[in-house]
Chains A and B, each alone.
Chain A
Amino acid sequence: MSEEGGRAIGVETIGMTKIFGSLVALEDVSIRVRPGTLHALLGENGAGKSTLVKCMMGFYQPTRGQMSIEGHEVAIRNPRDASEARLGMVYQHFTLVPSLTAAENLIVSRPDCPEIIDWKREIAALDAFMATMPFRVRLDTPVSNLSAGEKQKLEILKQLYLDRRFVVLDEPTSVLTPDEADEMLGLLKGMTTRGELTILMITHKFREVTAYADEVSILRRGRCVGGGLVGEIGTQEMARLMIGDAEIRERAARVERTATPVVLDLAALHASDDDGLPAITSIDLKVHEGEIVGIAGVSGNGQSELVEVLSGQRDLDDGRILVHGHGFEPVRDQMARLKVFSLQEEPLRNSAVPRMTVAENIALRTFDEAPIASLGWWLKPGTMKARARDLIARYRVKTPSTDTPIENLSGGNVQRAVLARELSGDVDVLIVANPCFGLDFASVAEIRTQILEQRNRGAAVLLVSEDLDEILELSDRVAVMSGGRITLDAPIGATDRSAIGHAMAGGH
């Protein structure tokens, strides 16, 4: 098929190895991606998937190993070499410039970008290009104002605009709703079968692999442990290859309770967004002891502002937060006293200090208390590290050492490190936002179990999630947010998907 189109190219890695200090992130990985296919790359968090593709794109220099394009060995020393060879990548973390408009982002990414830009002509050309594309993005809006889904589309459009023939997508669907993901993958799959493009896609979702991929390769601990045609290798086998013989944790059974007291009480909360416009309006919500209240909703309807208010990152305009009937202000000592903990989305940005070590990050809540500190100010790094080692082992955080800056951990392991910090104490109130974003299936099972265990122990849990399945699985009660308001609040047994969907769309 590639011969007809003559566009899609095949790429191979030969013995790719990457060593970071003492950590072998990749060891002798050889993967072959045939032209005109959609190839899936699977592996648990920290397996080395991102590292492998970054080596392929010249973003990292491999310690050893070669790249071969269409059967010829090629040296890719930097991203420019990669783009000359018509290889492109959509990184796991967005690589659009927030303050530039979509059009500016597209133009500046072009290697032959003119020194002086004739905007009239370029916009006309971009419009013409967009007309041939399966999906569209507003061109004159700064990227910072686009939604996550639109940004993802723009990233992919950028690769197509640059006429790349081999594109790596690092977890492209983690920010999309399932419908958006299906739409996008369907269109991309169409392009590969027509031989216009070859795609290497990193994902954690088996559903996407079986529905869209032709072939799959699986990494475990930096080694390629298997792969094959998607029809010939089942999801059971893929899962086994990914995690080896490690056990997946059984989901904790739900302990049923009745008539428990209210622990977290939100009374008429109002808050504004960064531009000073109202983001949440009259939020009233009660969470009882031993209850998980799930907040569903399409992203950008005030959920992140609500979480920010509850964790002290955003000021309240009006309203009161009560914990056990006491007024609660989200400051450190009140959080400690009332045992309020939170697990936020984008933990590297919201819950960790990227350049501080793993041990220091784990100690952020306790560093000024015994046993880590004496008299509240004399710190004992030895004790801090010992405690961190204990938690790292208990929560299975994969890190080279306790002294590694936390920003060097893979996404899933940052999440686990934060989880270790937030859940290791005695928890009365737990605020969780999109806890499983970007995690592999084993970690997802692990984290959901942890949340359920906190609930069974009597914590009041507020779970904000864009993943409706997660909400339906974990919650005792569901609330839906739309346009900054709660549009539905019902026990899980008294509602269903369609009612929730209706409320998400703004209906009452």
Chain B
Amino acid sequence: MTDVVTTVAVAMFAGAVRVSTPFLFVSLGECLTEKSGRINLGLEGTLVFGAMSAYAVSYLSGSPWVGVLAAGLAGSLFGALHGAICRLPKVSDIAIGIALMLFGTGFAFFLGKGFIQPTAPRLQAIDLGFLVSDPQLKVALQINPLFFIGLILAVVLWWGFANTRIGLVVRMTGDSAATARAMGVSVDGVRFWATTVGGFLAGVGGAFLSLFYPGSWNEGLSSGQGLMAVALVIFSRWNPLACVAAALLFGAAGALGPALQSVGISQGYHFFNAAPHILTLAIMIATSSSKRSLKGAPGELSITK
């Protein structure tokens, strides 16, 4: 029995590390965008488009890292598009986000048709298996470098929000646009760049999907990670470090179904696969209250305003 429990626990740990990376990148990107006072719901589309671009470019160039870069650039284009459209008067960032989400996925499927068959070079994992002797753990410690980059990025963002001028300006723009304007800061400019960089990160998250895990390009690649990441940002109260914890939690929840299956429990497989979605709902309900205000929410967000 204990064997089964450890197997499941190790599998979930491995899953957490593996599945969390796209969550982490998308949520960090969304965190940055939301800190500047805008919501980009289009990151699901950016993620899928990033996955496609990464796979295609990796295949064409032969280098997965060039693919990652391409995914980031494609993502920043989507972010920039969102940022540029939202500059116009009377435009809702939520509506544009949804439009870009549909456009991104649709356009990715359209351009990506030809890349479903070929096999592109994949990203190599860093093997930390030598640290342990347990064979299961050895496999679990095959960790993608993007995961570490994500961790570093989270710390950099967290530090940057408090200790750099740009960080303070982004927070100011997100919390009180009138103040920023009174100080001569271009509010639209800051939001444009925050959305663009946020898009870059989401694109990189997509590259992880197609180049590492699951590691191929097809139309069912993303199961709403881009959307769940938005919920994740709210749940982590706009704190990049909390985003890491939340991404790991979501990753572990996502690994629950396959982990149970691997030890022979296949009953309710689909139910357990839905765990991240259920978790999203449960957490949102548990952490919100009609009596308390949402601590840490940027004051300019269209959902909290």
Residues A109 and B183 in contact, CB atoms below 8 Å apart = yes
The distance in angstroms between the C-alpha atoms of A89 and B183, with both chains bound, is 10
Q: Which of A93, A109, A314 contacts B178 (CB 8 A)?
A: A93
**A491 within 8 A of partner (CB):** no
Give chain B interface residues in 144-168, CB to chain A under 8 Å: 162-166, 168
**Nearest CB on B from A127, distance (A):** 18
Residues B176 and A95 in contact, CB atoms below 8 Å apart = yes
Q: A99-B175, A99-B296, A315-B290 are in contact. Are A104 and B182 (CB under 8 A)?
A: no
Q: A79-B182, A274-B293, A315-B291 are in contact. Are A99 and B299 (CB under 8 A)?
A: yes
Mark contacts of B68-95 with chain A using CB atoms, 8 A cut-off: 1 yes-contact digit, 0 otherwise. Answer: 0000000000000000000000000000
**B6 within 8 A of partner (CB):** no
- Which residues of chain B are near A206, meaning CB under 8 Å? none
Residues A78 and B184 in contact, CB atoms below 8 Å apart = yes
Chain A at the B interface: mostly helix, strand, loop or mixed?
loop
List 11 interface pairs A-B (beta carbons < 8 Å), by A numbering.
Answer: A83-B184, A95-B179, A96-B179, A99-B299, A100-B168, A104-B168, A108-B183, A113-B168, A115-B165, A117-B164, A315-B291
- Which residues of chain A are near B175, meaning CB under 8 Å? 97-100
**Nearest CB on B from A398, distance (A):** 23
Q: Which of A79, A89, A93, A115 contacts B166 (CB 8 A)?
A: A115
Residues B182 and A117 in contact, CB atoms below 8 Å apart = no
Q: Which of B164, B181, B182 contacts A116 (CB 8 A)?
A: B164
Residues B184 and A95 in contact, CB atoms below 8 Å apart = no
- Which residues of chain B are near A91, meaning CB under 8 Å? 178, 182
The distance in angstroms between the C-alpha atoms of A78 and B296, with both chains bound, is 30
The distance in angstroms between the C-alpha atoms of A97 and B182, with both chains bound, is 11
Mark contacts of B199-222 with chain A using CB atoms, 8 A cut-off: 1 yes-contact digit, 0 otherwise. Answer: 000000000000000000000000
Query: For chain B, which range describes its interface: under 10, 10 to 19, 20 to 34, or 35 or more residues?
Result: 20 to 34
- Which residues of chain B are near A59, meaning CB under 8 Å? 181-182
Residue of A nearest to B184 (CB): A80
Residues A117 and B172 in contact, CB atoms below 8 Å apart = no
- Which residues of chain A are near B176, meaning CB under 8 Å? 95-98
Residues A117 and B165 in contact, CB atoms below 8 Å apart = yes
Known interface pairs A95-B178, A97-B175, A98-B299; 16 further A-B residue pairs with C-beta atoms within 8 A, sorted by A's residue number: A79-B181, A79-B183, A96-B179, A97-B179, A98-B176, A100-B172, A108-B165, A108-B169, A113-B168, A115-B164, A115-B166, A272-B291, A274-B292, A274-B293, A276-B291, A276-B292
Mark contacts of A323-356 with chain B using CB atoms, 8 A cut-off: 1 yes-contact digit, 0 otherwise. Answer: 0000000000000000000000000000000000
Give chain B interface residues in 266-305, CB to chain A under 8 Å: 290-293, 296, 298-299
- Which residues of chain B are near A274, meaning CB under 8 Å? 291-293
The distance in angstroms between the C-alpha atoms of A96 and B179, with both chains bound, is 6
- Which residues of chain B are near A97, meaning CB under 8 Å? 171-172, 175-176, 179
Residue of A nearest to B168 (CB): A108
**A493 within 8 A of partner (CB):** no
The distance in angstroms between the C-alpha atoms of A388 and B176, with both chains bound, is 32
**Nearest CB on B from A112, distance (A):** 10
Mark contacts of A291-327 with chain B using CB atoms, 8 A cut-off: 1 yes-contact digit, 0 otherwise. Answer: 0000000000000000000000011000000000000
**A275 within 8 A of partner (CB):** yes
Give chain A interface residues in 109-128, CB to chain B under 8 Å: 109, 113-117, 119
Residue of B nearest to A119 (CB): B163
The distance in angstroms between the C-alpha atoms of A115 and B166, with both chains bound, is 7
Residue of B nearest to A95 (CB): B179
**A52 within 8 A of partner (CB):** no
Mark contacts of B58-71 with chain A using CB atoms, 8 A cut-off: 1 yes-contact digit, 0 otherwise. Answer: 00000000000000
A/B pair count, beta carbons within 8 Å: 72
Interface size, chain A (Cβ < 8 Å): 31
- Which residues of chain A are near B296, meaning CB under 8 Å? 99
- Which residues of chain A are near B171, meaning CB under 8 Å? 97, 99-100
The distance in angstroms between the C-alpha atoms of A57 and B168, with both chains bound, is 23
- Which residues of chain B are near A78, meaning CB under 8 Å? 184
Residues A114 and B165 in contact, CB atoms below 8 Å apart = yes
The distance in angstroms between the C-alpha atoms of A108 and B299, with both chains bound, is 18
Mark contacts of A69-99 with chain B using CB atoms, 8 A cut-off: 1 yes-contact digit, 0 otherwise. Answer: 0000000001110010000010101011111
**Nearest CB on B from A354, distance (A):** 10
**Nearest CB on B from A72, distance (A):** 21
The distance in angstroms between the C-alpha atoms of A98 and B299, with both chains bound, is 8
Residue of A nearest to B179 (CB): A95
**Those 7 A-B pairs whose CB atoms lie nearest each other, nearest first:** A80-B184, A108-B168, A95-B179, A79-B184, A274-B293, A97-B172, A113-B165
The distance in angstroms between the C-alpha atoms of A98 and B298, with both chains bound, is 9
- Which residues of chain B are near A451, meaning CB under 8 Å? none
**A107 within 8 A of partner (CB):** yes
Residue of A nearest to B182 (CB): A95
- Which residues of chain A are near B291, meaning CB under 8 Å? 272, 274, 276, 314-315
The distance in angstroms between the C-alpha atoms of A418 and B175, with both chains bound, is 27
The distance in angstroms between the C-alpha atoms of A57 and B183, with both chains bound, is 10
Residue of A nearest to B164 (CB): A116
The distance in angstroms between the C-alpha atoms of A323 and B285, with both chains bound, is 35
Residue of A nearest to B163 (CB): A117
The distance in angstroms between the C-alpha atoms of A98 and B297, with both chains bound, is 11
The distance in angstroms between the C-alpha atoms of A456 and B299, with both chains bound, is 43
Residue of B nearest to A315 (CB): B291
Residue of A nearest to B167 (CB): A117
**Nearest CB on B from A361, distance (A):** 18
The distance in angstroms between the C-alpha atoms of A57 and B182, with both chains bound, is 9
- Which residues of chain A are near B165, meaning CB under 8 Å? 108, 113-117
Pick from B168, B178, B181, B293 the residue with the most CB of A within 10 Å: B168
**Nearest CB on A from B162, distance (A):** 8
**Nearest CB on B from A307, distance (A):** 16
Residue of A nearest to B299 (CB): A98
The distance in angstroms between the C-alpha atoms of A95 and B178, with both chains bound, is 7
The distance in angstroms between the C-alpha atoms of A91 and B296, with both chains bound, is 24
Q: Which of A95, A107, A276, A315 contacts B168 (CB 8 A)?
A: A107
The distance in angstroms between the C-alpha atoms of A318 and B117, with both chains bound, is 66
**Nearest CB on A from B173, distance (A):** 9
- Which residues of chain B are near A95, meaning CB under 8 Å? 176, 178-179, 182-183
Residue of A nearest to B290 (CB): A315
- Which residues of chain B are near A114, meaning CB under 8 Å? 165
Give chain A interface residues in 247-281, CB to chain B under 8 Å: 272, 274-276
- Which residues of chain A are near B299, meaning CB under 8 Å? 98-99
- Which residues of chain A are near B178, meaning CB under 8 Å? 91, 93, 95
The distance in angstroms between the C-alpha atoms of A57 and B178, with both chains bound, is 14
Pick from A99, A274, A275 the residue with the most CB of B within 10 Å: A99
**Nearest CB on B from A349, distance (A):** 11
- Which residues of chain B are near A83, meaning CB under 8 Å? 183-184
- Which residues of chain A are near B162, meaning CB under 8 Å? 104
Mark contacts of B179-190 with chain A using CB atoms, 8 A cut-off: 1 yes-contact digit, 0 otherwise. Answer: 101111000000
The distance in angstroms between the C-alpha atoms of A114 and B169, with both chains bound, is 12
The distance in angstroms between the C-alpha atoms of A244 and B165, with both chains bound, is 50
